[in-house]
Structure 1
Amino acid sequence: MKEEKPMTLFLLSAGMELSWIYAWATYLTLSFLHRSFPFPETLGMFLLASVLTALPQGRGWRVIEIAGLHFSGFVLAGLRMVYVFFGDPSHPFTNPAWLAQFLNKSRSPLEWVILFFVAFWCLFLWVRGVGLVRKPFRYRTLTSRFDLGLAAFFLLFFTKLLVKVKGGFMMEEDVSLFMVFSFLLFGLLGLAMARNPSEERKDFLPSFKGLGMILSFTLTILLVGSGLILFFRPYLSTLAEGAYQGVQMVARPMGWVLVSVLRWMFFRGIHRPEEALPPPQEGAPGPSISTPETGGWFELLEKVIGWGLVGLLGMALVAALGVGLYFVIRFLLSKTSRSPKKDALWRFIPSGWAWLKAFFARLRREVFQGRRGSAGAIHFFQDLLVWGRRSRTGRLQSETALEYGRRLKSRFPSLRREIDLIVTEFHQEVYGGFPLSHGRRVELRAALRCLQNPRHWPSRLKYWLREEDHLDGSPPSL
């Protein structure tokens, strides 16, 4: 069976697992401790266990290294969970003072039970996170996880019903209700994506291709979005309450501006003539002068329009921040353009290992050359090839020695005699069969030293800074 979209199936499977695990953890924590189970720590511990399990796969790590990695991650995540339940809020998590205070504190039997309860859930989350990655994301595996989650939710709701009917205890807890819907959405979408027994490509009918793609994309986004909203609903509610209070604080000073705008929009150009009133008699109270009442509908309209404008302003602000954040992240993650000149210039710098290797090879030739016998013209021609390659004038594969010598002489006219001497002796030894004499060997060594003289480096430098690469791909050097 072909496995497709392993990352998508991993996220959907993680959503399924976390839905029923967090529902059970929240119900038990509210029942015994009268507080909710921390959601960020639950999500972080589960995903950390999965990531640390997937990281060493296929890398050939030792078992003790993997065990040490998991032990370190579990201890770190467990300490964070213990800090949430037992830590002193006056000390941050990074301050070890809370840990020393926790270890030195004497506990009652009930506190020990709570500590073992927290440790059990930490270990359970870690084991489930490890098991999520160790098993392949196939249809049979996802169906097993889906059945297990359904059984867990059935047992949870049956327990709540039993406690309500037999014990008369009704606990206000709606996390499990939202989690079951997110579990169903994640599970059904994951099963639909994993059920692909054949490797044949499937496509829509020609007349329904566009409509099918639009409907599939819309349905996928709707299911995933609904599942995420229901999954993060507890913290989205807290975030919404905080955002509502923040909007109130920001919009309160602008209330008079909105009222002025509304009055200008609805009462612009309306003039009400004042009625002539008779002068008040002595001793009689004068008529009260008041503005006409606008009625309750106008106040309601002001509130509706005001909140509508504030909502639109908030949505526009959030959208602008989101778009700006998207472009900032995209810019930071983008790669800069590669300049041919700079790229070629950087490649001129040889690596340390290549330089050392060439240095020791040359040192070996110089030291042990006498033991192998005197160098012939072929040896000097090979040195000429190395010199030309380092001068960014490598020899072509289809180029003869004579043609290569002509090209070197055209590029370095001041070294024509030395280059011509090495090429001529190479021809006589290879094609003529004449061995190199001692006098000629001395002349060739002098010619080679002249080629390597630093006074000729400026003439070689102008070919280093060109955009075209030298032919054999090796980095030039002096």
Structure 2
Amino acid sequence: MKTKDKLFSFLLRSGMELSWLYAWAYFMSEAMLQRAFPLPEGMGTFLLAALSTQTRWFPGRGWLRFALVPVVQATGLIFSALFVAYAFTDGLRPFFGRAWLSEFFLPARGILDGLSLAVLGGFILAFWIGGSATARRSDTYTSICHRFDLGVTALFVLYLIKFILVYKGGIHIRDPYGELAVFPFIIFSLLAMGTNNQRGHAPKAFLAGFRGIGLILSFSLTVLGLGVAAVLFFLPHLTRAAEAGFRGLKAAAGLLEPILVSILRFLFVSRRMREEPIPPNPAPDVLQFGYLPAEGGWASFLHHLIKWAVIGTIALLVLALVSAGLWLLVRWVRLKFNRLQSSQDPPASLREVLQLIRSRLCRLWRFLLELLHGYTCAAQLFGAVTRWGRRSGIPRLPGETPLEYGCRLAGVFPLFYQQIEIIVMAYHTEVYRETPLDGSHLKNAQAAWQHLRSPRHWPQRLKIGLFGNRQSPHG
């Protein structure tokens, strides 16, 4: 098993363990200490325990390496416990000082405080043992299923205790994480079981014709699952960070408001208007949503400034779209020139280049007119079918007759066999037999073309165009 596969499996299994373990730690910490258990310190304890089990990184050989294992384990556990305890202080004193240690451990504590410290130490030890055991445990499918059963049981017991406390004792404990812990746990578990089950002896090859779309969907679903699980795992902390950032942004905007107003008045308000006395009424709070500035003065100039800014933005977007269209046109012309150079002599003068561009634009104009007015003969319909097949990944081969191309196209798209046959037979009648189509046959061919170009068939066409046709060329 490759190192990156082992690391990915370890991360998924760690997400499983941390989801239910931190849910219990958060609940007990809020219930007994009235403070949330620190997530960064808990994750650090878990990962540090996992790293300390990797004895191959230790120096020395033989008994010296194994003698270092308990020393490293004890040192890491002590530092992890100190980091978690420091997170429960005010954080004003340095970590490597004695002040916070004496304040945290030396004061006389009652039985309840001693029990709270014991619970805190128990969860520190639980995170350490969980990280060490996860690193040592085999990552087989059966082992992951056993850990999944344990996690489901732990979360069920946690929710049962919360239910009893609320409905029997009337005790409400603030626990925003416990309500969401089941979702990242299930996502991490499904990803871990799915990825580790691929190492069995069962056939894992994709079905013929679905390898490309299978790889894309597998990668997309894995990344999406990891992203959703990570967001749900950190959601309470992300919510608090967003609230703190919003408060800071609001305070900064309130401090910068007089400066911005002064700059705008200096830039856009005339001197005579600036010399007018400012009314003594305090300025309203611009951060309140219900505030609207009065008409005239700097507010009017600010209104015009915003209006022209919006107009300028729209103009820039239109300019960007036009530029993108011109770039695509130039790219398309260059592609046509490259094909022309590979088939015949390149244009010798600017006049020939302009004539080539003019012919391409005329062809594009005729194509747009056909789309607008519809196709009036079978030759136009067969040309549309040829373009339809080329865009679907089945181009017409050189020297291939319309009947042969229709059979090959119907072999790739068997659901459209009847529509393709109607258009090809109409083309044979009109071109080879030189017999004009009557109204009913032309309407049938037009209806068949409308069915072919229906948007509901785009997914199948896109699959064939992107990943190719796995069938035989003769259908």
Alignment of 1:27 with 2:27, yes or no, is yes
Equivalent residue number for residue 86 of structure 2:
83
Equivalent residue number for residue 65 of structure 1:
68
SS state at 2:181 partner: helix
Further displaced range: 242-251 or 190-199: 242-251
> Do the aligned partners of residues 164 and 132 (structure 1) sit closer, same or farther apart at CA in structure 2, a change above 3 Å counting?
same
Q: Is the 8 A contact 2:55 2:69 kept in 1?
A: no
Equivalent residue number for residue 176 of structure 1:
178
Count the aligned residue pairs. 271
Deviation readout 1:316-351 (Å, 9 max, x if unpaired): xxxxxxxxxxxxxxxxxxxxxxxxxxxxxxxxxxxx
Residues 43-122 of structure 1 aligned to structure 2 (within 5 Å): 43-56=43-56, 60=62, 62-85=65-88, 87=89, 89-122=91-124
Residues in 1 aligned to 2:258 and 2:149: alpha-carbon distance in whole angstroms:
54
Residues in 1 aligned to 2:28 and 2:174: alpha-carbon distance in whole angstroms:
13
AA of the residue aligned to 2:35:
R
Residues in 2 aligned to 1:257 and 1:204: alpha-carbon distance in whole angstroms:
61
Residues 317-332 of structure 1 aligned to structure 2 (within 5 Å): none
> Do the aligned partners of residues 187 and 92 (structure 1) sit closer, same or farther apart at CA in structure 2, a change above 3 Å counting?
same
AA of the residue aligned to 1:208:
F
Residues in 2 aligned to 1:99 and 1:239: alpha-carbon distance in whole angstroms:
28
AA of the residue aligned to 2:206:
F
Alignment of 1:15 with 2:10, yes or no, is no
Deviation readout 1:78-99 (Å, 9 max, x if unpaired): 11222233x4643121223322
Structure 1 gaps of 5+ residues are: 262-289, 293-298, 310-478
AA of the residue aligned to 1:73:
G
SS state at 1:105 partner: coil
Q: Is the 8 A contact 1:2 1:196 kept in 2?
A: no
Structure 2 gaps of 5+ residues are: 265-293, 297-302, 314-475
SS state at 1:106 partner: coil
Q: Is the 8 A contact 2:26 2:177 kept in 1?
A: yes
TM-score by length of 2: 0.51
Q: Is the 8 A contact 1:52 1:70 kept in 2?
A: yes
Equivalent residue number for residue 42 of structure 1:
42
Further displaced range: 22-31 or 143-152: 22-31
Residues in 2 aligned to 1:52 and 1:92: alpha-carbon distance in whole angstroms:
26
AA of the residue aligned to 1:75:
I
- Give 1:103 shift: 4.7
Q: Is the 8 A contact 2:176 2:236 kept in 1?
A: no
SS state at 1:177 partner: coil
SS state at 1:175 partner: coil
Q: Is the 8 A contact 1:46 1:125 kept in 2?
A: yes
Equivalent residue number for residue 185 of structure 1:
187
| Percent of paired sites with the same residue | 34
Residues 428-439 of structure 1 aligned to structure 2 (within 5 Å): none
Find the structure with the greater CA-based Rg: 1
Q: 1:237 aligns with which of 233, 236, 239?
A: 239
Residues in 1 aligned to 2:209 and 2:2: alpha-carbon distance in whole angstroms:
28
Residues in 1 aligned to 2:34 and 2:87: alpha-carbon distance in whole angstroms:
14
SS state at 1:176 partner: coil
Q: Is the 8 A contact 1:20 1:149 kept in 2?
A: yes
Residues 63-462 of structure 1 aligned to structure 2 (within 5 Å): 63-85=66-88, 87=89, 89-198=91-200, 202-249=204-251, 253=256
Residues in 2 aligned to 1:62 and 1:151: alpha-carbon distance in whole angstroms:
38
- Give 1:123 shift: 1.3
SS state at 2:226 partner: helix
Residues in 1 aligned to 2:20 and 2:217: alpha-carbon distance in whole angstroms:
30
Deviation readout 1:290-315 (Å, 9 max, x if unpaired): 959xxxxxx9xx9xx99xx9xxxxxx
AA of the residue aligned to 1:30:
E
SS state at 1:188 partner: helix
- Give 1:12 shift: 0.7
SS state at 1:207 partner: coil
> Do the aligned partners of residues 170 and 142 (structure 1) sit closer, same or farther apart at CA in structure 2, a change above 3 Å counting?
same
Deviation readout 1:203-222 (Å, 9 max, x if unpaired): 33342222222211111111
> Do the aligned partners of residues 107 and 55 (structure 1) sit closer, same or farther apart at CA in structure 2, a change above 3 Å counting?
same
- Root mean square deviation, CA, Å: 3.6
- Give 1:75 shift: 0.7
SS state at 1:35 partner: coil
Residues in 1 aligned to 2:139 and 2:238: alpha-carbon distance in whole angstroms:
30
AA of the residue aligned to 1:205:
L
SS state at 2:53 partner: helix
Equivalent residue number for residue 463 of structure 2:
none
AA of the residue aligned to 1:17:
E
Residues in 2 aligned to 1:193 and 1:32: alpha-carbon distance in whole angstroms:
39
> Do the aligned partners of residues 91 and 225 (structure 1) sit closer, same or farther apart at CA in structure 2, a change above 3 Å counting?
same
Q: Is the 8 A contact 1:2 1:197 kept in 2?
A: no
Deviation readout 1:89-124 (Å, 9 max, x if unpaired): 431212233224445433222222222111111111
Residues in 2 aligned to 1:164 and 1:200: alpha-carbon distance in whole angstroms:
48
Q: Is the 8 A contact 1:20 1:180 kept in 2?
A: yes
> Do the aligned partners of residues 251 and 55 (structure 1) sit closer, same or farther apart at CA in structure 2, a change above 3 Å counting?
farther
TM-score by length of 1: 0.51
AA of the residue aligned to 1:157:
Y
Residues in 2 aligned to 1:190 and 1:31: alpha-carbon distance in whole angstroms:
32
SS state at 2:34 partner: coil
> Do the aligned partners of residues 35 and 197 (structure 1) sit closer, same or farther apart at CA in structure 2, a change above 3 Å counting?
same
